[in-house]
Structure formats: C-alpha cells, structure tokens
Amino acid sequence: MAPVPCGRTPERRAFRFPNRLATSKLARQASDGPLCNDRERPLHARVLILGSGPAGYSAAIYAARAMLKPVLISGMEQGGQLMTTTDVENYPGFSPAVMGPEAMDKMRAQAAHVGATLISDIIVKADLSTRPFKLVGDGGRLYTCDALIIATGAKARWLGLPSEEKFRGYGVSACATCDGFFYRGREVMVVGGGNTAVEEALYLSHIAAKVILVHRRDTLRAERILQDRLFAAKNIEIVWNHEVVEAVGEDAPLSLTHVRLRDVNTGAVRDVPTHGLFVAIGHEPASGCSSVELDMKPNRYLKVAPGTTNTNIPGVFAAGDVADDVYRQAVTAAGLGCMAALDAERWLAAQGA
C-alpha cells in the first residue's frame, strides 16, 4: 500500500485509525461472529465498521438488517466511552438508569443477533485510494471492503503536562470508573468543570474519603442536575479559579503525593496533598496523522457533508464522536450510526455493488 502524504493545511489533514497501545493478546482476541476464528485469511465485507460504541453498533444493526453482512472491528476500547460510565440516565428506553457497560453489552448482543460479525482487532494501516478499500489489523490480517464506516469515537483529553505523563498510571488517571477502586478511603482530586468532571467527582465521592474538584473558573459548565448533586455531596470540596500546573510525587516507587495548583487571578501557587489526580477536561476525536487523507476540521473532527455522514472520499462515512463536535451524546451517536448505515446502503446501491 503506497502511503499518501499527510496534509498540513488547517482544512485538510490526515486521519489516523487509532492504535491505542494494543497488546498482541487483546488485538487477537475474537468476539461474536462466524468469521472471528480465522485470523489468517483476508476478509472482505460489503460494509466494514470501525468502532464499537453506540455509533458503531447502531451502524452494524442497520447494515445487518439491510442484508449488507457488515463486519465490525471493535478497536482497543470495546464499547467506547460508555464502558467507563456509571449510570446512563439520558438514553431512551432505560428506566431506572442503566450502567454504561450493561447498555453496551445489550447493543453488542443486538448487533450480533441481527447478523453482524464482530471482531476484536485494531486497524493500524489503511489504503482508501482505490476500491475495494484495504485495511490491516494489528496482527497483520488484511480486511477489504466496498464501503467503510468510521465510528472510532473520542478519547480523553489530557492537560499536556510532562509530570502528568510521568505519573499516568501511578496516581494520574482519566477514568474514575476504571481506577477509582484503587483510591478507596483516600483523598483524590478531579480537574475540570463540565459534565465529565462532575460525574467523575460524584462517582469518586462514594469511594474516596474526600474529593477535591479543581476548576479554573468560578462557575461550572455541567448540567444543573449534576451541579445540584455535586453541591449536596458532603465529602466534595470545590477549589474555584485554580489550574493544575504540576503533578508531584516520589520516584521510588513511582507514586503521586500532591498536586501543584495556581490561582488564575493572583498567580499564587500552592501544593495540595492527594493520592490521585483524575483529569476530566473532556474528550477529543480519536484521530491523528498517518497515510489516509480525509478532510478534517481545525479541531480534528472528521468533516462530513451537511445533513449526511459522507466524508470527502466516496464510500467512506463517519459517525459518532469522531465527527460530531457539537452534541457528543450517546443517543446522537447512535442516530449518526443509523445515518451512516443508510448512507452506505444507498451509496452501494448507486454503485451497483
């Protein structure tokens, strides 16, 4: 596959199919579906779907019902962001609230039930210059397809501090539901002011002895119902108008001991002891720069034609948080997955494929 040079202009950048530090074991594990055990033979699909969040599973369900025999590649984080969410209260059909992993298990089971083939692999290389499109998995398996739906979602946004990178996994995390258990009965800190930060703080308040929420402004952006719950929590302290400037700790063994905060108004710096720092400042699309040219917005979300999921490459569609920089909700991602499957079906019909 001849690589296409990465674009460098703001309006046209290259999209990278994320390889999230996959282990060979995980990349080769199979999921549901009749084709999953054959890891050597190239696999061709009329519709190939990348991503296993609400957008990917919805696309798989609709494509399967249209008899397109879709193949879904789950990626490293099977189930997407909802796998790290506790109560999902704003997705229709679940009363009382459902846990995020349970909701994704139901979507996954439904996709398999209607005939989608689900494979656990990670795409590390792609050639979309000719059809059929060619993609290569982490273990070297070749996938080809007539139409491609990209639903790779979003990933946590980090502060960008060298010390944050140093202590990541040793006191610094971006997932309370993943790592909160390790801080049971201890003091932790959350940085951020939106829904993500408040949800993380509330979750941790049931595990940790104390939670400190640090926000660089004097008001929160989170939904009012979440703010009300936050203010009612007895063991959550809010530090307004401060930003995190450094994570500090021990080198042997590597562990976080405190966080350095700076007052955004006065510039005063102080150290706050804590055992864990949870970064919750939102998410960014799971994109980067490699050999595949797709139009992107300046904020690196995939660009689609208005009212559709069509990218600039005919036969390639984008759905969910990888393309949606406005709503970014599970329910809208599912809707966009449906749209992508319908757009792909119509495009294939027009091509006579």
CATH classification of the domain holding 42:
3.50.50.60
Annotated catalytic residue 6: no
Closest CA to 34 of 140, 112, 110: 112
Annotated catalytic residue 289: no
Range of the domain at 48: 8-155+284-351
Q: Which of 121, 138, 179, 321 is catalytic?
A: 179
The reported pLDDT for the residue numbered 338 is: 98
Who wins on pLDDT, 13 or 72? 72
Secondary structure element (H or E) that encloses residue 118, with its range: strand 117-119
Do 130 and 45 share a structural domain? yes
Do 138 and 82 share a structural domain? yes
Number of domains the chain contains: 2
Do 174 and 149 share a structural domain? no
Percent of the chain with pLDDT over 90: 69
Reply yes or no on whether the pLDDT at 227 is more than 90.
Answer: yes
Do 116 and 35 share a structural domain? yes
Q: Which of 6, 87, 105, 175 is catalytic?
A: 175
Report yes or no on 3 lying in a domain: no
Do 303 and 210 share a structural domain? no
Do 255 and 176 share a structural domain? yes
Q: What is the mean pLDDT of the chain?
A: 87
Annotated catalytic residue 145: no
Domain boundary among 230, 256, 279: 279
Do 209 and 133 share a structural domain? no
Enter the tokens of residue 45. 């699909």
Taking each helix axis from N to C end, the angle separating 100-113 and 54-65, rounded to the nearest 10 degrees, works out to 20
The reported pLDDT for the residue numbered 131 is: 94
Do 339 and 232 share a structural domain? no
Mean pLDDT, residues 133-146 taken together: 95
Domain boundary among 261, 279, 297: 279
Domain boundary among 257, 279, 301: 279
Q: Which of 38, 178, 228, 271 is catalytic?
A: 178
